[in-house]
Structure 1
Amino acid sequence: MRAVWKAARAAVRRRRLQTLMIWLVTLVSTGALVMALGLVDAASAPFDRAFGAQHGPHVVAAFARDRVSDGRLSRAARASGVEAAAGPFAQAAVDIPRGAADFGLGGEITVVGRAGPGGTVDRVDLWAGRWAVRPGEVVLNRQSDWTADDLGKKFRVPKGPTLTIVGFAFDLSHTADAWVAPAQIGALHPTATQMLFRFRAAATEEGLRAELAEVTGGLPRGTLTASRTYLALKHRIGSNARAYAPYLMAFGVLGILVAVLIVANVVSGAVVSGFRHIGILKALGFTPGQVLGVYLTMISVPAVLGCALGTYAGNLLAEPFLRFAFSGPASGVLHGSLGIAPWVNLLALLGMPLVCVLAALGPSVRARRLPAARAISAGSAPRHGRALGIQRRLASARLPRSVSLGAGLPFARPARSALTLAAVVLGVTTVTFATGLAATLNSYGNGERSYDVTVYVGDHRDGREPVHGDRELHALLGRLPGATHVTARSDDEALLVGSTQAVMFEGRRGGRSLDSALVKGRWMRETGEVVVGTPFLRRNGVHLGDRLRLRKDGREEELTVVGETMDTDDRLVIGSWPTVTALMPRAEPIAYHVKLREGADQSAYARAVRAADPGLSVQLSGSNSVTGTIVGSATGLTLMLSLVASLGVFNTAVLNTHDRRRDLGMLKSIGMTPRQVTVMTVTSMAVLGALGSLIGIPLGIVAHKVVVPRMAAGVDITLPRYMTDVWHVPLLSVLALAGVLIAVLGALVPARRAARLTVAEVLHNE
């Protein structure tokens, strides 16, 4: 065994290029695979852990308090499918003026009367202070934005009591915005009763609905006023991770395929170019099994090192991905659960070296079977060129002789050329896929935001208020240099009748300068018409043309959904200004979105806004962070995989020139110039590059059509056709050069090295 290790270690040192290639390709492939599998696992695992720790409810249900008694609800909760239940809790809808107590309270909030944070269902995490046990006390459902000094602060409920904040808690299921003692809830005039259920069959939305129907089957008709399941919350929290996972998985699979091909090519070349070495080993007494061990060890050493470093790099790079993917309301409680799962690291550390060893097994078995005498003679005996017939046919095409000779060289070693071609095909596939992905995401980023500057009412840094009124501000912003269009926007919460959660009802005045792309339907034209994003439609079971009712301050309005947009907020409902003020007469703009003329300076406009009214704050529009992250990481992975494919070509070119040293010497002896040798060698690889482009571009387009819709589905949006139909003749013409470029870059250095060989050197080596 010691002899095998010494021989393998010597081979690793001697074959530095092959060792570097195996190390690099396994590093890139393993890193992409770890990130992809980590995000797939993270799309559900952190939520499942946090939800399980809080023993969260599978269904949160609200019942009409005047139609069913608490006792009857308690009896209904004993249905056979119910695993555990909490409640009944009295629930009140309280309207808080925007900005009350500086705790993010504003609009209609849900307050529940609950005796404590514990129980068999929904164990609320009390982060600070204590629970409300007496009238006049309240606990806020806040994950952050609090300090110890905030405990004890008071705020007054309109037409209700003054409440003192005695604690901050976080509930992942968000069953309430605030909790008070049961003795206090009566003063808030509760209109509903909340029940929290855990069911035995909780894997699917249909199963949960069926279980809830069994619980409510014996209750009076219309008793259940609203309900929601934990699956919708889980889907929302993991949506960003599901958007990243498909494209990372695609790069991971491409990386593994490239790794297999490159390793097989490298080992096969090592066997062919090392025939003399194999013969010497066998002549020295190495058994066939030991020769096999030498070649497998030679591959395993850089493969294991590459996999180890790739796993480490994948964990490091996945950390910002995971933080970004799980940024949002539940980020704090989930961040403690985030990270690459141990099974992912174990799979990468064990699986990728195994893949490399299996790829090397075929060529290594060939080395094992070679007799010593044949191996030694194979290293120096002349061979008849298999490409001779093809080169003769190419000569009749009146091509330069160096080009016709080079075009026939790939056929001299068909197996080696096939492996190299496959690596180039995967490189072109990667470039094509990444180019289409970038084009789609850039189109999405441009369509999602069509304004340049956002002007907010009030300067939150020093508490200043604007000196101009609403209409004056609207006109003023439109008159400043560079402005072409101004849209006012209001944001106010309203209750979606039939749901337990509030929606954000956004009003727009002044046109559609900030509209995201419309996917289906049309924009609102009449009062009472609204548009919503795809997530709102899917998670609320609403379709275009359906009507929904919003309630605010005792008013109700029936609205018709006429359009579907790419907005990713599943709580957002957009209406025209008359539609919003019909429900909320006192609605006021909180921001103005300004479209500037082409070439206008955003910073100059921002300075003009602050000079015109110091009570305004300005934010310049930037690039979409999701788009930038995906495009940047995809570009990096593409460059690395293209480099690996070029190294595969490099390896093949080196082996070809090594195998044909005798032929090169003969050609030079009859007058072939160094430049012609370079052209011949580069042409031999450029042929493979052209074929690679011909095959790789369609594969890249297919990968784009498969992966992009799944990324969009991860965040519950539908992309319009113009964002996915990105393949045009100019772009395809540029991509057609990708395979040739990969091949030429890989072949250039070996070609120049071959061109510098002298006839004397070749004859001396012979």
Structure 2
Amino acid sequence: MSAVWQASRAAVKRRRVQTIVIGLVVLCSTMTTVLALTVLTAASSPFDAAFARQRGAHVVATFDAAKTSEAQLTQTVQRPGVQAAAGPFGQAVIEIPQPWLWMAAGPLQVVGRADPAGPVDRVDLLAGRWAAALGEIVVNSPVGGASSRLLGSKLDVPGGPPLTVVGFATSMSKSAGAWVSPEQMTALHPTSFQMLYRFASAATSGQLHSDLEAATAGQPADSLTHAQTYLSLKQAFSASADSYLPFMTMFGVLGVLVSVLIVGNVVSGAVVSGYRHIGVLKALGFTPNQVVAVYLGMISVPAVVGSVVGTLAGTVLEQPILKAAFAGVETGTATIGTTPWVSVACLLAMPTIVAIAALIPALRAHRLSAAEAIGAGSAPKAGRGLLAQRKLGGTRLPRSVSLGLGQSFARPARAMLTMSAVILGVTTVTLTTGLASTMVAAGNAGQRSGITQVLVAADGKTSGQSAAQLSDSQIEARLRALPGADRVTARAFTKVLLAGSTDTVFLNLYRGEPPAAAEQIVHGRWPSGPGEVAAGPGFLAQHGLAVGDRTVVYLSGKQLGVTVVGEEMLGNNQAMEADWATAAELVPDASAVEYAVQLAPHADGQAYVNGVEGIDPGLHSSLRIQSQNTASTVVISFSTVFTVLLAIVSALGVFNSVLLSTRERRRQLGVLKSIGMTPRQVVVMTVTSVAGLGLVGGLIGIPIGMVGHRVLVDHAGVLAFPESMKDVWHAPQLAALLLSGIVIAVLGALIPARSAARLTIATVLHSE
């Protein structure tokens, strides 16, 4: 074994360039794979574990207390398919008159429950104790947000005595914003009942819908007002993380493929160019298996080093990636952290994949006898590709070009590996170019280049200064009357409780001309009447909604049915957009806190700002010229860097192939030079040998990259792109991408070509 190790070490030292290339490629692919698997695991496993531990509710159902009774709901527990149930619990919505604890003023959903245990939804008590008497309340708290020092806080309830916080708890089912004792709930006059169900079959939304229908069969019509499934909670839990997965998975797969191709290329070339070395090893007593072990050892050293460093780098980056992926997500008792098995699996799997990739070409050395290996020439066998070379030689192409094109047919297997490296490079360039174009279009959506906009704040609390003295209508009228004003949009907002959710969400209300966000509607349309809302994909995913769905919002004892009529491209994960007509139903006294004024072309922005200050000292304006988009600049920079890096890796694969071909054809180069071939012709011949492969690789890589781009933008998760932003391919761009395949191949071949051109006839004959 020591002899095998010494031979492997010697091979590693002799092939330093290939060793470094393999190590870097394995490092990058391992790091990407670690991050992809970490996010994939974190997107599901923590939720499933915490949900199972709490015996979470598959469905949290809300029933109208005016249409059904506790006795009728108790009968649903015995229905077929119901595995376990809890309730009915009284449910009421109370108003928080002003900011309290970590919550803003607005509605709070409260459930009457005797204890946190039970067959379904075992609520975890984080601090304090459970509410057991009148005047006590337990608040649903984010893990880490509860603090013993906040126990004893008072909540003023309109029309009733204050409630004292005696505990903080959390539920993975998000069944309530707070809990009180059943006696306290009676005093709050509940308007609905809550039932918590676990079903025998709950893998899909279809099964849950069927099970719920069976459980509630026989209930009065329209008594079921809302049903929240655990699948929507799970989707909300992982919505942000899921948007990272397509990108990481795609780049991880590309990295692994590049690793496999380069390793196969290196070992194949090493075996072919090392026939005599193999023969010498066998003549010295190495068995066929030991010869194979030498080549596997030569590859395993950089592969192991690359996988170790890549795993460590991925482990270091796990926490920042997970923090970004789950930013703003209510995780409950789910623990988001690193998973040791991911690092261990990648640490073992990547060297194994590399070894398998190396084993196939290494078996060629296994089959050679010592006599065959020593007697074999380093050049391809006579006649291989001869027909193609003769046909090329009969054309009017320069001799150096025809000889270069013919070399691909002499080594078809190596030519395929070289072309595969180019294909991956072009695929990556196409993919990142498409993503950059789509993101730039997204960043520019709603931006009117060269248009000046003035933002006017009228809310003293928001600006931190004195409030405006004029009324809402007077301010808007005077803003429109100032010279230069073209479009004026007023915005107000309030916090409402969404049916099926324990958290309040923002409702933005717009009056006047539609805001810039109206131009970013991907599906449906912008709200134009009462009871119509629009939201971004993140908001819709977290609440299990889609365009056309109806839901209910609650505010100050009022409720309003709303219809989702539009999906924004991005939006706010905690906000909906609505027309001012909706304010008449919920907040008739709503007043604008901000005005967005778009100025006419060539209007003097500073003069308008000065004019705003003269309207009312409580108005505070700021000037913004929409000429550049910072996000677009960042995306372009990132895409450029990423494209260059992977293009370099692909070029290194070509470099390795050409380097091996040049070494094994030293004798042929010496013969060609002896009959008059110049160094420049040698360079042309060598570069031409891969330029054709680069062209074909470009033709294949472009459509693959286009498909990958479509897959990524269709599954971005936090962004919803319209078709116009997905269709980014045009003839000049495609021509440039096709040229990129040739550029990658030529750049990879240029250094070995120049090295071959400098070879002297004497050097070649001496080596022979």
The TM tier, using the shorter chain, reads 0.7 to 0.9
Question: Which of 672, 682, 694 is 2:699 aligned to?
Answer: 694
TM-score, length basis structure 2: 0.88
Alignment of 1:360-509 (within 5 A): 360-379=358-377, 384=382, 386=384, 390-391=388-389, 393-394=391-392, 397-447=395-445, 458=459, 463-469=464-470, 470-471=472-473, 485-494=487-496, 504-509=506-511
Q: Which amino acid in 2 is paired with 1:521?
A: G
Which residue in the other structure is 2:169 paired with? 169
Which residue in the other structure is 2:15 paired with? 15
Given that residues 106 and 556 in structure 2 are in contact (C-alpha distance below 8 angstroms), is that contact kept between their aligned partners in structure 1? no
What is the CA–CA distance in structure 1 between the aligned matches of 2:557 and 2:299, rounded to whole Å? 74
What is the CA–CA distance in structure 2 between the aligned matches of 1:148 and 1:400, rounded to whole Å? 85
Which residue in the other structure is 1:86 paired with? 86
The range that moved more, 595-604 or 561-570, is 595-604
Given that residues 132 and 181 in structure 1 are in contact (C-alpha distance below 8 angstroms), is that contact kept between their aligned partners in structure 2? yes
Q: Which amino acid in 2 is paired with 1:44?
A: S
The range that moved more, 401-410 or 478-487, is 478-487
Query: Following TM superposition, by how much is the alpha carbon of 1:412 offset from its aligned partner in structure 2, in angstroms?
Result: 2.4
Alignment of 1:38-77 (within 5 A): 38-77=38-77
What is the CA–CA distance in structure 2 between the aligned matches of 1:600 and 1:131, rounded to whole Å? 63
Structure 1's 156 and 332: CA in aligned 2 closer, same or farther, altered over 3 A?
same
What is the CA–CA distance in structure 1 between the aligned matches of 2:649 and 2:593, rounded to whole Å? 52
What is the CA–CA distance in structure 2 between the aligned matches of 1:198 and 1:606, rounded to whole Å? 60
What is the CA–CA distance in structure 2 between the aligned matches of 1:738 and 1:152, rounded to whole Å? 68
Given that residues 46 and 337 in structure 1 are in contact (C-alpha distance below 8 angstroms), is that contact kept between their aligned partners in structure 2? yes
The SS at the match of 1:732 is: helix
Query: Following TM superposition, by how much is the alpha carbon of 1:64 offset from its aligned partner in structure 2, in angstroms?
Result: 2.4
Given that residues 228 and 500 in structure 1 are in contact (C-alpha distance below 8 angstroms), is that contact kept between their aligned partners in structure 2? no
Q: Does 1:667 align with 2:672?
A: yes
Which residue in the other structure is 2:727 paired with? 725
Q: Which amino acid in 2 is paired with 1:106?
A: A
The C-alpha deviation readout for 1:285-311, integer Å capped at 9, x for no partner, is: 111121112112222222222222222
Query: Following TM superposition, by how much is the alpha carbon of 1:391 offset from its aligned partner in structure 2, in angstroms?
Result: 4.8
The C-alpha deviation readout for 1:523-548, integer Å capped at 9, x for no partner, is: 34455554455677788887766766
Alignment of 1:133-532 (within 5 A): 133-143=132-142, 148-331=148-331, 333-334=333-334, 336-339=335-338, 341-379=339-377, 384=382, 386=384, 390-391=388-389, 393-394=391-392, 397-447=395-445, 458=459, 463-469=464-470, 470-471=472-473, 485-494=487-496, 504-515=506-517, 517-527=520-530, 529-532=532-535
Structure 1's 600 and 664: CA in aligned 2 closer, same or farther, altered over 3 A?
farther
Q: Which amino acid in 2 is paired with 1:82?
A: V
Structure 1's 389 and 755: CA in aligned 2 closer, same or farther, altered over 3 A?
same
In structure 2, list runs of 5 or more residues that go unmatched. Answer: none
The SS at the match of 1:302 is: helix
Structure 1's 158 and 589: CA in aligned 2 closer, same or farther, altered over 3 A?
farther
Query: Following TM superposition, by how much is the alpha carbon of 1:110 offset from its aligned partner in structure 2, in angstroms?
Result: 0.7
Structure 1's 600 and 279: CA in aligned 2 closer, same or farther, altered over 3 A?
farther
Structure 1's 760 and 4: CA in aligned 2 closer, same or farther, altered over 3 A?
same
Query: Following TM superposition, by how much is the alpha carbon of 1:89 offset from its aligned partner in structure 2, in angstroms?
Result: 2.0
RMSD between superposed Cα atoms in Å: 3.8
Q: Which amino acid in 2 is paired with 1:300?
A: S
Which residue in the other structure is 2:4 paired with? 4
Identity score, percent: 50
Structure 1's 634 and 666: CA in aligned 2 closer, same or farther, altered over 3 A?
same
Structure 1's 401 and 221: CA in aligned 2 closer, same or farther, altered over 3 A?
same
Given that residues 28 and 641 in structure 1 are in contact (C-alpha distance below 8 angstroms), is that contact kept between their aligned partners in structure 2? no
The SS at the match of 1:656 is: helix
What is the CA–CA distance in structure 2 between the aligned matches of 1:545 and 1:467, rounded to whole Å? 39
Structure 1's 528 and 78: CA in aligned 2 closer, same or farther, altered over 3 A?
closer
Question: Which of 650, 654, 660 is 1:649 aligned to?
Answer: 654
Q: Which amino acid in 2 is paired with 1:747?
A: A
The SS at the match of 2:105 is: strand
Which residue in the other structure is 2:109 paired with? 110
Query: Following TM superposition, by how much is the alpha carbon of 1:485 offset from its aligned partner in structure 2, in angstroms?
Result: 4.6
What is the CA–CA distance in structure 1 between the aligned matches of 2:3 and 2:15, rounded to whole Å? 18
Query: Following TM superposition, by how much is the alpha carbon of 1:618 offset from its aligned partner in structure 2, in angstroms?
Result: 7.7
Structure 1's 301 and 467: CA in aligned 2 closer, same or farther, altered over 3 A?
same
What is the CA–CA distance in structure 1 between the aligned matches of 2:227 and 2:379, rounded to whole Å? 82
Given that residues 460 and 617 in structure 1 are in contact (C-alpha distance below 8 angstroms), is that contact kept between their aligned partners in structure 2? no
Query: Following TM superposition, by how much is the alpha carbon of 1:749 offset from its aligned partner in structure 2, in angstroms?
Result: 1.4
Q: Which amino acid in 1 is paired with 2:131?
A: A
Query: Following TM superposition, by how much is the alpha carbon of 1:241 offset from its aligned partner in structure 2, in angstroms?
Result: 1.9
Query: Following TM superposition, by how much is the alpha carbon of 1:671 offset from its aligned partner in structure 2, in angstroms?
Result: 3.6
What is the CA–CA distance in structure 2 between the aligned matches of 1:362 and 1:543, rounded to whole Å? 51
Which residue in the other structure is 1:25 paired with? 25
The SS at the match of 2:742 is: helix
Query: Following TM superposition, by how much is the alpha carbon of 1:733 offset from its aligned partner in structure 2, in angstroms?
Result: 1.9
Query: Following TM superposition, by how much is the alpha carbon of 1:497 offset from its aligned partner in structure 2, in angstroms?
Result: 6.8
Given that residues 612 and 619 in structure 2 are in contact (C-alpha distance below 8 angstroms), is that contact kept between their aligned partners in structure 1? no
Query: Following TM superposition, by how much is the alpha carbon of 1:514 offset from its aligned partner in structure 2, in angstroms?
Result: 2.9
What is the CA–CA distance in structure 1 between the aligned matches of 2:639 and 2:612, rounded to whole Å? 38
What is the CA–CA distance in structure 2 between the aligned matches of 1:673 and 1:454, rounded to whole Å? 70
The C-alpha deviation readout for 1:58-113, integer Å capped at 9, x for no partner, is: 1111222244443443343243533333333221111333x432532322221122
What is the CA–CA distance in structure 2 between the aligned matches of 1:4 and 1:512, rounded to whole Å? 75
In structure 1, list runs of 5 or more residues that go unmatched. Answer: none
Q: Which amino acid in 1 is paired with 2:172?
A: L
What is the CA–CA distance in structure 2 between the aligned matches of 1:669 and 1:607, rounded to whole Å? 84
Query: Following TM superposition, by how much is the alpha carbon of 1:364 offset from its aligned partner in structure 2, in angstroms?
Result: 1.2
Q: Which amino acid in 2 is paired with 1:354?
A: T
Structure 1's 533 and 240: CA in aligned 2 closer, same or farther, altered over 3 A?
closer
What is the CA–CA distance in structure 2 between the aligned matches of 1:283 and 1:601, rounded to whole Å? 89
What is the CA–CA distance in structure 2 between the aligned matches of 1:101 and 1:86, rounded to whole Å? 30
Which residue in the other structure is 1:119 paired with? 118
Query: Following TM superposition, by how much is the alpha carbon of 1:499 offset from its aligned partner in structure 2, in angstroms?
Result: 8.2
Query: Following TM superposition, by how much is the alpha carbon of 1:313 offset from its aligned partner in structure 2, in angstroms?
Result: 2.4
Which residue in the other structure is 2:756 paired with? 754
Structure 1's 44 and 161: CA in aligned 2 closer, same or farther, altered over 3 A?
same
Query: Following TM superposition, by how much is the alpha carbon of 1:697 offset from its aligned partner in structure 2, in angstroms?
Result: 0.6
What is the CA–CA distance in structure 2 between the aligned matches of 1:599 and 1:297, rounded to whole Å? 71
Given that residues 19 and 302 in structure 1 are in contact (C-alpha distance below 8 angstroms), is that contact kept between their aligned partners in structure 2? yes
What is the CA–CA distance in structure 1 between the aligned matches of 2:233 and 2:509, rounded to whole Å? 26
What is the CA–CA distance in structure 2 between the aligned matches of 1:4 and 1:500, rounded to whole Å? 66
Structure 1's 382 and 518: CA in aligned 2 closer, same or farther, altered over 3 A?
closer
What is the CA–CA distance in structure 2 between the aligned matches of 1:545 and 1:84, rounded to whole Å? 33
The C-alpha deviation readout for 1:458-495, integer Å capped at 9, x for no partner, is: 57699544345545665787899998654332232445
What is the CA–CA distance in structure 1 between the aligned matches of 2:601 and 2:383, rounded to whole Å? 63
Query: Following TM superposition, by how much is the alpha carbon of 1:21 offset from its aligned partner in structure 2, in angstroms?
Result: 2.1
Query: Following TM superposition, by how much is the alpha carbon of 1:666 offset from its aligned partner in structure 2, in angstroms?
Result: 2.8
The SS at the match of 2:172 is: coil
Alignment of 1:607-618 (within 5 A): none
What is the CA–CA distance in structure 1 between the aligned matches of 2:384 and 2:603, rounded to whole Å? 65
Given that residues 461 and 467 in structure 2 are in contact (C-alpha distance below 8 angstroms), is that contact kept between their aligned partners in structure 1? no
Given that residues 226 and 499 in structure 1 are in contact (C-alpha distance below 8 angstroms), is that contact kept between their aligned partners in structure 2? no
The range that moved more, 279-288 or 191-200, is 191-200
Which residue in the other structure is 1:707 paired with? 712
Q: How many residue pairs get matched?
A: 759
The SS at the match of 2:517 is: coil
Given that residues 434 and 638 in structure 1 are in contact (C-alpha distance below 8 angstroms), is that contact kept between their aligned partners in structure 2? yes
What is the CA–CA distance in structure 2 between the aligned matches of 1:556 and 1:382, rounded to whole Å? 82
What is the CA–CA distance in structure 2 between the aligned matches of 1:514 and 1:628, rounded to whole Å? 20
Given that residues 170 and 332 in structure 2 are in contact (C-alpha distance below 8 angstroms), is that contact kept between their aligned partners in structure 1? no
Given that residues 239 and 541 in structure 2 are in contact (C-alpha distance below 8 angstroms), is that contact kept between their aligned partners in structure 1? no
The SS at the match of 2:173 is: coil
